[in-house]
Structure 1
Amino acid sequence: MIPVVSNSEVLREAEGKEERTQLVQKVSEGLVLLEEAFVSCSKGKDFFGGDRVGYLDIVLGSCLGWLRVTEIIVEISLLDRTKTPRLAKWADRFSSEDAAKDVLPETEKLLELYRKIQAFLKAA
């Protein structure tokens, strides 16, 4: 079985400034492509599927917590409002939806979990 590793996990674990810079560039390029897909799919509406949250919004929205944790750890804005303005606004809108607010984990709690996992891994 092949382990699944997310871009943000790789980015958090990057060693050295040069490797991290290259990975940030790759993630940023991917987010620009996602921005283009959002513009195409949403047709000017608030969500990928239109006026309401759909399946794609839920799938991508479920990654927002860890993306925000990665931004804190790496000290960089991945959902850059200049490079991906519509995607950044989508993330804010999605996170503000009542249904999402009830289930999205708080960034600080995820960050605390990440730090506990890292401490456990270092101790092992």
Structure 2
Amino acid sequence: MLERGVGHAARKMNDHVAAQGGEAVVKTVKSWVRKPVLFGGFPPPKRSTVVMIASSHRHNVYDNDFGWGKPIAALSGTIERFDGNIKLYPAAADGGIDAEVCLAPETMQAMEDDAEFLETISM
């Protein structure tokens, strides 16, 4: 991102999400069945530089009702709350996006101290 900018990263994420349908999903599932991969090690080591964005626009978390009413928020469990983990969910209101962003205090401070970052997100 330092070399190509935030726009390039956003475009790559958008391309990846757009490719997650139809034949791409079938191919991934068939591949996983042949050679299963299980992810583990959460949270990642403290010194790792991991940014993880996970969720699906196809899973509306607000449509779930387990008998005590519809959800008012979507949050991860504590094991998934580590520096650099970002979850995106469709919002309860149509057209919105809920973002759960987990950042360590020192990461937040570094972002606040980064003039170029602040200028970019303020545009």
Considering the TM-score relative to the shorter chain, is it more than 0.5? no
Higher relative contact order (CA 8 A, sep 6+): 1
Which structure has the highest helix share of the two? 1
Larger Rg: 1 or 2?
2
TM norm structure 1: 0.31
